[in-house]
Structures are given as structure tokens and as C-alpha cells.
Structure 1
Amino acid sequence: MDLSRLVAVAVLLGALRPLRSHCAGDVKGPHPVVLVPGYGSNLLEAQLTAAYAPPAPGCGARKGNGWFRLWPINQTAMQDPRQVPCFVDQMSLVYDAVADDYGNVAGVVTRVPFFGSTHGLTGLDPLVRELEAAGYRDGESLFAVPYDFRYSVAPRGHPSAAGACNFDDFTRLVERASSLSQGRPVVVVAHSFGCALTYQFLLGRPLAWRRRFVKRVILVASALGGFSEGMNDLAAGTDYGLPNVARPSRVRLARSQQSALWRLPTPTVFGDRPLVVTRNTTYTAHNIAEFFEAVGFPEGVRPYVTRVLPAWEALPAPMVPVTSIIGVGVSTPETFVYGEDGFVGTPEVVYGDGDGDINMVSLVAIEKEWSGVEGQVLKVVRLPGVRHDGFFNVGFALKKVVAEILEAGGTVELHPKIGRVQIDAGPVWKEDRCRVHEDVWFE
């Protein structure tokens, strides 16, 4: 056999190497893992067509020049204030009241690159490296569901083109990951906003499908009840990390996102807790529609009442094993008190417990709602002092997350007793009906 054939055989044998097992006696290797990232951990690319009407000089310079990185924000936009109006316009969504759905500004086309692969994630590199060190391989036993975080999904009876396409792709990815692993069900690991998407995704699949394809769901820093700062974002806006963004631009960025309404505190979880206080009114999760009117966002009332509230009016158990990992003991905004200047002023912030972003009442909503449900296996892990964005860059937190993934991915079931809760203190080009994107898919 000549040298070239020997090299080819060696490469083939290397490609066919088995995954290391994490459980004694498991000769098949661990169950595949599917990562669903948090809100800002997704790549987003855009291109401008001839239909794009630039809001400021220079914003149309990329017309006809192909795809460019829209998110994360490029350094040019960070340093050049002239690029701020361009980013704000191209990042914003538009709610079409007639179609009852959200879409890009006219002339802006977006895509999420590398669907299915961890190459499409940002900020999760430490977690990916740890899993790869444990034997997982991208596209073989390790996968990801990046998404356009500006969107969400809608309840039955309301269209959500972007969200429905993402869930279709999510379904096919899980099924394919299972197929590549000899039919073993997957371990889904979600963080932050990805937890809310994963939860709604599970509820939208038949129970038999969930039990066939999902071995365990690990929710890291989940906020299935929203969080208080979601209210202030709609009042004051968000700058997405850009310096010196004028208030109208911040407000447009915040209010145009379909997903922003999903981040609001839900009545089911927050009840009558004061969220925003002004001289004349106290706003709770029960009168958010009135809050919209007060901050000058009346156009948000209809999509909030019809597309958001029905999806979060209850928190039914998903009926697949769940591990919830949360940070606790971190000062977290709880109530925003506006003074004489009203909503154009800077509020005084009252703090409570949580992970720095998500309030404790939302972090523990899973435990409260599911711990007594027959057939729902739930494990809760509390990590004192870990912030919302620290699970993948704080050493002991990362090790705990990885340990939970490896344990869930083995062949030994975690805490199989029914209803038990354990508290741990401690690129291929593809075009389909949905979108055009560069991703790692399976054809």
C-alpha cells in the first residue's frame, strides 16, 4: 500500500473514532447535545437590496455588496457615530398589523449563519471547548440552534414566520442528531432567552415526540416568567452596547423587537409585585398594557395582548426530565421608580435577589410550578454569586454546567423517581421556504 493510501486510511479511521464514554459500561458513547444560546450569543448577517431606503448618508453604501455582519456589532459602528443610525435602522423590525407578524425593514434581508453548528455561537466558546475535550464533536454529537433573537414565536392562531421556521429547523436538527447517534435521544442545553424558546418549542411538539427524542433539558438561567428590567427597556430603550445613542434610537431598537415583549414579567409569575412606579401609578404585570400607553407605545398593546399573554398564561410542565441551573444572591433590579421627569428621567432602582438580570421569582418559577407534577422529573441547581452572564466564564460555574451535561448525556438516568425534585446548592448553502442562510446542515 502506497503512502497516500496509508494517509487516507489513517484519516478515515480518525474520522470514525468513537466518542469517549462518560459512564462505565456505556460502549455507545454519550447522548448527543444540542445547544440553544442566549439572546445575544447568536450571529446575524444582513444584506441590502435595491429596495432599501437609507435613513442617513452612507447607510446604503453596502447595497449590492453581499452579506455583512450585523450582530455582534462591528468595531466600525462602535467607533464611528455616523454608523449608529445605520445599525439602528437595519437592526429594527417592523410589526405589520394587517399581516399580524414581524419582519425586517424594507430592503433589509437577514440570515443566521451556521445553523446546526457551534460555529454560529458567540460567547459560548469555553463551554464548547470543555465539551469537545470530553469527546463531543461538532456536527457529530454536538449541535447548536442559533436564531435571530429579534423574533420569537406566537400562540396558535397567529402567524410568526421567522419563529415557525426556526422551530421547524430545530425539530429536524434534533431528529437528525438522534439519528446520527444510533437513535439515542438528545440532551438540550439552553441559556437565558434560549430557555424560553426551548420551552415553547417543547410544548409545541407532541408528547410522544418529546419522550422519543429528548432525554433531558438543561435550562441555564431561565426566565420563563420574564424579568423586571424588561419593563425599563421599553421605557428607556436599549443601546446594544453602542456609545452615545440618542433616546429615540434606543427606544426604536427596544420596541421594534418582537422578542422584547417576551421579556416582560408575566402575571402568572410576578402577580401584583410593583415593577414600575410613577408619581401617579404603580405598574404591575397585570396592567402592562396601560404602561405601554403611558410610555408612548400604544402600538405595542395589540401584539402584547394577543401574541404574548396567551403563550405565557400558564407554565405547564414539559413532561421531559429537566435540570434548572440558576444563579442566586446577586443584586438584581426589581422596581423602577420614576420621579418628576417621568419616563424621560432616570429612575431610582430598587434591588432584590436574582442573578443580576433575572429576578428570583422568575428563576424559581419552574420549581414552584413543576415540583408537584406527577411524571415531571426536575433537578434544581443553585449557584450562589453567579451572574446571568457568568455561567460560561466563571470557573466553578462552567464546571458545574459541564458536569450536569455529561451526567445527563450518560446512560444512567438522573433521579428517575416520578415527581421528585432535587435541590443542589452547590458551511453548506441551503435555500428553503423560510430563509436563505449559510449553515451546517445535513443533506
Structure 2
Amino acid sequence: MAKNTVFLGLLQLLPLLLPPSLRDYLWAAPSDHDMDQQLEVYHPIILQGGFSCSVLEARLTDAYTPSLPHCGALKGKGWFPLWNNTSDVVDHDYMPCFEEQMSLVFDPAINDYRNQPGVETRVANFGSVYGFSYKDESCPFCCNVKIRNELEALGYQDGVTLFGAPYDIRYAPPQPGQCSKVYSDYFARVKDLVQHASEKNANKPVIFRVLPTNMRVEAPMVPTTYLNGVGIQTTKQVVYWDGNFDVSPENVYGNGDGVVNWISVLAFAKELKRQHYSENIFFKFVKIPNATHGDITIQDNSLKIVMAEILEANS
């Protein structure tokens, strides 16, 4: 926690924690912007993607032993997109290969997870807002595409005022006492990216739009706006009657954003507020009616709110 706080404080990181927010600011309809609406002052923005948004590439070396012959078809042929399109994986009967090449194994010798032998992976285009791609053709505006378009319409430019920090989602943030070289390396790269983005823009504070990566509540201890959808039926409990785990459970529903139930959201917001207020640091929590977890930067109404928050941070 001390490491996170020092890092964020030194680099003047200004986060916007998603899902988004309600305000009086009237924003033009998405995609109606023109060049006359560009901002005069730009705080650089770093975007992170959702669970499936990062572009993960793989390379199969001689040490790779495929479980099925066609899984080794790309062996020795350099880097290739490991997951580029969900339908392609299914249509080409590549699912068993995908699972094998995506899976991690725990190595007790290093107390860390690693790829399968002979599988090397990397996240493409770190630093670029184009380092994200949607994997489902039914959702062409997913994975920051729509919000990227809106920011570019305001005058934001990739690599100048707009950046991306894609991550290998297979590696969860480590628990205390556990190692994660991938996560540590990512943290260092994000640190360098924040510093680079700030220095490139006259040392302005950076707007870092992120999703909480674990349930451990570690407040960033910088001015923070936390926004979340509400009003969507969300699983609250899963009940196995009579202790019988061989049958499907009964879901008990409550309020939330369709993924995170409202009780958890309120507990998270309350703890963030407590930590920030203890140090006299700005914190705001806003709930957005009828906004879902996955569509928060896709639906027009909720996207308006996200953009309003970004404009306020630029004021």
C-alpha cells in the first residue's frame, strides 16, 4: 500500500474509477462533436480496458508440445494473436488449443505462475489507446472504442495526450507474500507511462480511468471520483439447498449493475471515502440509474456522464 501511495502521489495521478457519474453539465450527444469543440487545456488520459480487451499475442517455441497436432500449426512462425476474435476460435476448432496456450501453471520453485512450457506471451501496443480490441463482432464499440472516438473528437491524440495501459488479465494482483513478476513489471511500466504522459504535457496531472482490480480496498489517496451503475437486477446470493452441490443453485437477486451487487458497491465506496476523508482528500461517489457494468462507456446516457467527468477534470 505504501508503494502504491508513494507512486501515485509523486506522479500526481488523478484517477477516475469506473463504472460513471451524474451531473448538471449538459453534454452534446456522442459523436456529434466537431473540431470547434476541442479543449483548450488537456490533462493526459490513460485508459485501461475490460477483462477481454487487451491484445494478447503468443509465440510457440521448440519446447512446446501440443496436446493436439493442429495446436502446433503456428509453432516456430513468430508472434500471432492468441485471442483476436471469439468466433474465429470456435469456427476453426481452436478452443482446446486456445485453452492450452492461455493456461498458466504454478511454479513452486519461484512461487509464481508462468506459461506452459514452450509458450511465450506478450501484450501488444502498451502505451497506445489502440492497444485494445473487441473480440465479439456484435459489440464493435466495446473495449474503449466509443470513448476513444469521443476523446479524439475533443482533440485528444494517441501517444500525445491519450494513452493506453493494456494488461495480461490472466495474472491477478498478488496477495501479500505472493510473487507476481508479470504484475510487478506491469506496475513499473504503468508508473513510467504516467510519468511520461505527465512530462509530455507540461507536468499536468494524469487522469487515470481504471476499474478496481481486486477486492482489497486500497484508496489511491489522490482526488478521486468513483462512479457506479445501479438499478439492474444483480445476483446477491447463490443458494444450494440441503447442501447438495450436485444440482444447479438458486440465485437470489438484488440491486446492482448486473455484475457487482449494490451491497458490495456501497461497502467499497464507504471505505474509499473513509480513507480519503481521513487525509482531507477529495472524494465523490455518484450512482447512475439503469447503467450496466459492461455498457458504462457504450450506452449514450452513461457515456455522457463519463465525458462530463473528464471535462470537469480538465477544468
Work out whether the TM-score is over 0.5: yes
TM normalised by structure 1 equals 0.57
Match of 1:364 in 2: 266
Deviation of residue 128 (structure 1)?
0.2
Aligned AA for 2:219?
A
Q: Which residue of the partner structure matches residue 289 of structure 2?
A: 384
Residues 156 and 162 in structure 2, CA contact (< 8 A), matched pair in contact too: yes
Structure 1: segments with no counterpart, 5+ residues: 1-16, 23-28, 197-223, 226-311, 411-443
Query: How far does residue 69 in structure 1 lie from its aligned partner after superposition?
Result: 1.3
Q: Which residue of 1 aligns with 2:148?
A: 128
Alpha-carbon RMSD: 2.1
2:178 counterpart of 1:164: no
TM-score normalised over the length of structure 2: 0.79
Distance 1:157 1:116, change over 3 A: same
Q: Structure 1 counterpart of 2:251, which letter?
A: V
Question: CA 1:343/1:88 → structure 2, altered by over 3 Å: closer, same or farther?
Answer: farther
Amino acid at match of 2:82: L
1:334 to 229, 236, 251: 236
Q: Give distance in 2, aligned partners of 1:153 and 1:390.
A: 24
Q: Which amino acid aligns with 1:186?
A: V
Which of the pair has more CA radius of gyration?
A: 1
* Cα distance in 2 for residues equivalent to 1:189 and 1:118: 12
- 1:338, CA displacement in angstroms? 2.9
Deviations 1:89-113 (A, max 9, x none): 1111111123110111111111111
Matched residue, 1:36: 48
Shift of 1:332: 0.8
Distance 2:123 2:241 in 1: 41
- State which of 78, 82, 88 in structure 2 corresponds to 1:66: 78
Task: Say yes or no: does 1:76 pair with 2:73.
Answer: no
Matched residues in 2 for 1:135 and 1:166: separation?
28
1:188 is displaced (CA, Å) by 0.5
Work out the CA distance in 2 between the residues paired with 1:396 and 1:51. 51
Amino acid at match of 2:118: G
2:207 is paired with a residue of what secondary structure?
A: strand
Q: Which amino acid aligns with 1:332?
A: T
SS at the partner of 1:55? coil
**What's 1:96 paired with?**
107
SS at the partner of 2:69? coil
SS in 2 for 1:349: strand
**Which letter maps to 1:76?**
D
Partner residue in 2 for 1:179: 199
> Structure 2 regions of 5+ residues with no counterpart?
1-34, 134-142
**Mapped partners of 1:93, 1:340: distance in 2:** 35
Which structure shows the bigger proportion of residues in helix conformation?
Answer: 1
| SS of equivalent to 2:73 | coil
* Counterpart in the other structure of 2:130: 119
Select the residue among 295, 306, 310 that pairs with 1:405: 310
For residues 4-34 of structure 1, the C-alpha deviation after alignment (integer angstroms, 9 at most, x for no partner) is xxxxxxxxxxxxx9x9435xxxxxx221111
Instruction: Note the 1:9-408 alignment, pairs <5 A.
Output: 20-21=38-39, 29-80=41-92, 82-122=93-133, 123-155=143-175, 157-191=177-211, 195-196=212-213, 225=215, 312=216, 315-339=217-241, 342-372=244-274, 373-374=277-278, 375-408=280-313
Whole-angstrom distance in 2 between the partners of 1:151 and 1:20: 38
Distance 1:353 1:71 in 2: 33
Q: Which amino acid aligns with 2:59?
A: Q
CA distance in 1, matches of 2:72, 2:243: 37
SS of residue in 1 equivalent to 2:252: strand
Matched residues, number: 268
